């Protein structure tokens, strides 16, 4: 990366980009994005939104258009999902983030939400990157499951180059050979990003591990490694989830995690002095 | 994959899909797709097309829209590139294939070419897959550099499920830890595809190795492993190529490779005989 | 791993093995192993030992027999290195750990040190594992850079099966495709080990990242993820180190890290209640 | 590798090392090593030896000391296995190769066999490499399942540096993320070795794929890629094999493969002209 002249690198670690999502600022203080993998119904989404809000989450997540490995799997509720998500955001006062899959959908989806997410499969979908680069909403850019740090920052650059400076990176696990966890969460990329870029970075331990028992410890570790936040899947009843049930926290586990995160966050602030 | 009921698997190895690209049939006999990485000028493209035609190539390749890691790298000539490619195809009688990046471009690009290519970065760009599934042109589906066989076949399924049965798979190397070659060409996926699917599969040793000296041996090996063809980058003057110069064969090396391929192809027919 | 009946798994997460190394107990409380990559001279080793002891380290590390990629690289001081290490341990009161490479050397090297280390390259060197299984000293078993959790626990089993119950696992990074860090430190294996095994696990962020700037954050993250300790390379003058200079902390950085670790450790104890 | 001054590289592709194993020469002409994964009984071994000899194999393989992932799996017949292997070699006139695991066993095992094998798990077991470097027998050095070309050649160098010039490299698959095959056979390393080193290289498609249906096609591909030979597991009754039954060819499949290999070999000789 020595020879790159990326605006994602300009100022390197000394300049810090702060990204506003609704009333929440990412890049100063530790934030938590939580919510169901998929928006499945109004009832489920609003109840989950209330639970995560009460527990202290800052932003609500929820998928309306789902990129699924098989064309025959549940593909999301589409526009109905967006309407539910918007309503859940308004009722709880939480800004909302959702994934976009198609460049043709970016501008109208942006009307419903506060932040647009680019998923791991689309990290190098340059048409989509350019389109969110033209949108007026901040972007959550997930790392490709196969991508180097340099490639990832180049994708951020595609967005920045279109005039949208509000990019938040999200580490979500890379593909490796072990099968115990679904992916290998690469936490060392957190201080690496801090070292070379001014962009904020959060961590997704739900996809990063794919295993309920690992999400809590890796969330605390993400904070200790210096991440600006985490994104976790929460479902009021994981056993009934239409997608990612295996890695969705039930609300009571999320409550407990939030309390632990608060303790680690306080101690990390103390260290930062 | 045992539990999948994919139409890409229906009939398994016993049913064979033949894909017609112009007058060329993929899936019976060994075919060669050749041409420059990028269409750079009319002169360069037509000269290269003539050279590969004379050497025995069956289909002409050339990129008009290039997916580049950096937004500041050469992005292709766009529509002008397509016009040049179409002209080169007509002058030589070769059908042409080019990569599509954006679902909004599929229908009009399909007017210029005989086959649409989905690149490795877009293997799981489901909007794009659905759009080429609706097109009336055959599709060359490259394997994601991080993808399992099962995920790849599921992506083929996205295209088939839209009603387009003309899918050709293309192995182009997976990402691994070694840095001697650009990617690790996984030739064993060729007999694996033959074992579980009815779709034809070709091999791209140019991207698969990224190294001039390895392209020839791996092309012969691809034929011996049972591939239905190869796709190679050829440039009249690789040192001046605007992209992938390091892995583009100069015409005389391509001539020599074609002669060797003929010998191996004859011997493999004898074995199959 | 469901079908394995390993004694490394017996009792799973509920039984905890405590491993005594000299007067230090691994498996209750967070411990720090520190010292130079290689023992280079008496002066260097004793000075470094004093510095890490003052900063709060619990065990001294130092290599006398070095497994080097090239046969022409510095191979360690051998027996002289062991004598120096033993002396440094006695002068500071720190127990010492050193790597063994050859089954013929295990019994006599065990006379000089308090703990025997199996390096990543020898994780599946079964002759060596059996020999340390017969030794009366505790064993630090590094994870192979390519190994699954299941394979790693099976290697621990080789040691346990010989009658030595005192095995401590050490995560040191796995091999992946990114080149920003030397290896990919897989912290999620820490809670995974806690979930399935009774053995203690520590983390080596020096080899795990190979990059000075990442060692501190990943040490704190290791503690937050639930590790029983870390092992870090410290050199009084990294620029002059005969091996691993790029990833060795100078003493003042180690001092600072130890202070931060203390804060995180206190907070994690609070969380554990 | 540019900066390495290895004797394994001296002369690069222009100097060719020929390795004599009994009366067989590796490095000129294509050779086949075949036999059971493990020596299980005299009956089984001698019958298999006769079958592979009749089919045209050049060298007999058979494991007497088996490196198994679990300490509770069959570990081989030991010295009895060596005696059987020696007998089978004498009865058929085939030289024999077997794996060594422990530096203490090298000199006496060398009395029984014509070639010593270093397995993938021990590629960087430097004590063992040095010991076979002192032996008077040729060495078959398997690639570590995680190793780069440069690391592999450095391991060959450990052997050469002890005065034993008779090293044959063996590609046996690297570890990747796909689970369809047991490993990912990296055939591109064959022309890569030919490009930078004077050492012969063979391919092991049995371990490289772990799947019966892939062994044949990958054997032919190995020949076409320029390998100096292959090593395959053959068992008179794979269903009863004590190890690697899933990837052992029954004799009739081996017969058929040998006939196809002959055709491809003839054609490749023609190409080489």
Nearest chain A CA: its distance from D168 CA (Å): 28
- What residue of D is the nearest CA neighbor of A182? D177
Which residues in chain D are closer than 8 Å to A175, comparing Cβ atoms?
Answer: 177
How many H helices and E strands in chain D? 9, 10
* Beta-bridge partners for D168: D140
Nearest chain A CA: its distance from B159 CA (Å): 9
Is residue A112 included in any domain, yes or no? yes
Q: Which of D67, D128, D151 sits opposite C69 (nearest CB)?
A: D151
- Residue A62 CA: distances (Å) to CA of A22, A77, A96: 16, 11, 8
Residue B5 pLDDT grade (very low, low, confident, very high; cuts 50, 70, 90)? low
* Separation of alpha carbons B149 and B171, rounded Å: 10
- What residue of D is the nearest CA neighbor of A177? D177
* Beta-bridge partners for C135: none
- Cα dihedral C173, C216, C240, C93 sign: negative
Which tens digit of pLDDT belongs to each residue from B173-209?
Answer: 999 999 999 999 999 999 999 999 999 999 999 999 9
Give the mutation candidate from B145, B176, B177, B181 for the C interface (greatest C CB count, under 10 A). B177
Is residue D159 included in any domain, yes or no? yes
Give the mutation candidate from A120, A175, A177 for the D interface (greatest D CB count, under 10 A). A177
* Segments in B93-176 forming alpha helices (H): 106-109, 126-134, 149-160
Give the H/E segment covering residue B53. Answer: helix B42-55
What is the DSSP secondary-structure string of A49-81? HHHHHHHT-SEEE-BSS---SSTTS----THHH
* Both structure tokens of C269: 């104890």
pTM here? 0.96
- Whether the predicted pLDDT of B12 surpasses 80: no
Which tens digit of pLDDT belongs to each residue from D138-161?
Answer: 999 999 999 999 999 999 999 999
Cβ atoms of A184 and A178 closer than 8 Å: yes
A18-43 core/surface letters (b: 16 or more CB in 10 A; e: else): ebebbebebbeebbbbbbbbbbbebe
CB–CB contact B179 C175 (8 Å) = no
Residue with tokens 């058979």: D62
CB–CB contact B176 C177 (8 Å) = yes
Is residue B10 included in any domain, yes or no? no
Residue A1 pLDDT grade (very low, low, confident, very high; cuts 50, 70, 90)? low
The predicted pLDDT at position A15 comes to 82
Is residue B11 included in any domain, yes or no? no
For chain A, the domain total comes to 1
Average of per-residue pLDDT values in chain B: 94
- Whether the predicted pLDDT of C12 surpasses 70: no
Length of chain C, please? 273
End-to-end CA distance of chain C: 31
**CA nearest to D233, candidates D7, D44, D8:** D44
Nearest chain B CA: its distance from C126 CA (Å): 25
The predicted pLDDT at position B3 comes to 45
Q: Is the ipTM of this complex over 0.90?
A: yes
* Both structure tokens of C270: 């609070």
Q: Helix axis angle, A212-225 relative to C212-225, nearest 10°? A: 140
Give the H/E segment covering residue D136. Answer: none
User: Can you point out the beta strands (E) in chain D?
Assistant: 19-21, 24-26, 31-35, 59-61, 96-99, 115-118, 139-142, 167-171, 201-203, 229-233
- Whether the predicted pLDDT of C1 surpasses 60: no
Which residues in chain B are closer than 8 Å to D1, comparing Cβ atoms?
Answer: 180
| Structural domain that includes position A188 | 19-268
Which tens digit of pLDDT belongs to each residue from B117-147?
Answer: 999 999 999 999 999 999 999 999 999 999 9
CB–CB contact D154 C127 (8 Å) = no
Give the H/E segment covering residue A182. Answer: none
Residue with tokens 């586990």: A253
Q: In this structure, what DSSP letter does residue D243 have? A: S
> What CATH number is given to the structural domain containing C224?
3.20.20.70
Is residue A68 included in any domain, yes or no? yes
Nearest chain A CA: its distance from D119 CA (Å): 20
CB–CB contact D178 B271 (8 Å) = no
Other C-beta atoms within 10 Å of A146: how many? 23
Which tens digit of pLDDT belongs to each residue from C205-220?
Answer: 999 999 999 999 999 9
Nearest chain B CA: its distance from A70 CA (Å): 5
Q: Which of B69, B103, B161 sits opposite A154 (nearest CB)?
A: B69
Is residue D180 included in any domain, yes or no? yes
CB–CB contact B213 D223 (8 Å) = no
Residue A3 pLDDT grade (very low, low, confident, very high; cuts 50, 70, 90)? very low
The predicted pLDDT at position C4 comes to 53
CB–CB contact D121 C124 (8 Å) = yes
CB–CB contact D176 A179 (8 Å) = no
Q: Going by DSSP bridges, is the β-strand pair D19-21/D167-171 parallel, antiparallel, or unpaired?
A: unpaired
Nearest chain D CA: its distance from A10 CA (Å): 33
φ, ψ of residue A147 to 5 degrees: the values are -100, 145
Give the mutation candidate from A150, A188, A213 for the C interface (greatest C CB count, under 10 A). A188
Give the mutation candidate from D68, D127, D133, D151 for the C interface (greatest C CB count, under 10 A). D127
* Separation of alpha carbons D136 and D107, rounded Å: 9
Is residue A66 included in any domain, yes or no? yes
* Separation of alpha carbons B258 and D20, rounded Å: 35
The predicted pLDDT at position A120 comes to 98
Name D3's Cβ contacts closer than 8 Å, sequence gap at least 6: none
Q: Which of B178, B221, B225 sits opposite D149 (nearest CB)?
A: B178
**CA nearest to C129, candidates C2, C3, C232, C8:** C8
- What residue of C is the nearest CA neighbor of A174? C176
Is residue B5 included in any domain, yes or no? no
């Amino acid at each position: 990366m020595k020879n790159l002249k990326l605006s994602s690198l300009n100022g390197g670690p000394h300049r810090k980009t702060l990204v506003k999502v609704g009333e929440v600022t990412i890049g100063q203080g530790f934030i938590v994005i939580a919510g169901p993998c998929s928006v499945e119904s109004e009832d489920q989404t609003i109840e989950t939104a209330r639970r995560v809000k009460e527990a202290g989450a800052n932003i609500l997540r929820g998928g309306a258009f789902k990129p699924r490995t098989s064309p025959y799997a549940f593909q999301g509720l589409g526009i109905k999902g967006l309407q539910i998500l918007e309503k859940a955001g308004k009722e709880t006062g939480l800004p909302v983030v959702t994934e976009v899959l198609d460049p043709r959908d970016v501008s109208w989806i942006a009307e419903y939400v506060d932040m647009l997410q680019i998923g791991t499969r689309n990290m190098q979908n340059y048409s989509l990157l350019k389109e969110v680069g033209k949108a007026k909403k901040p972007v959550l850019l997930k790392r490709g499951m196969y991508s180097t740090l340099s490639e990832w920052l180049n994708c951020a650059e595609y967005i920045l180059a279109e005039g949208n400076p509000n990019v938040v990176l999200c580490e979500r696990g890379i593909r490796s050979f072990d099968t115990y966890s679904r992916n290998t969460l690469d936490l060392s990329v957190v201080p690496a990003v801090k070292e070379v870029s001014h962009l904020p970075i959060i961590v997704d331990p739900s996809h990063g591990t794919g295993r309920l028992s690992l999400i809590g410890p890796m969330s605390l570790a993400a904070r200790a490694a210096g991440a600006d936040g985490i994104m976790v899947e929460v479902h009021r009843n994981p056993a009934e989830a239409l997608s990612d049930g295996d890695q969705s926290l039930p609300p009571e586990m999320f409550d407990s995690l939030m309390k632990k995160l608060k303790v680690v966050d306080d101690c990390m602030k103390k260290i930062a002095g």
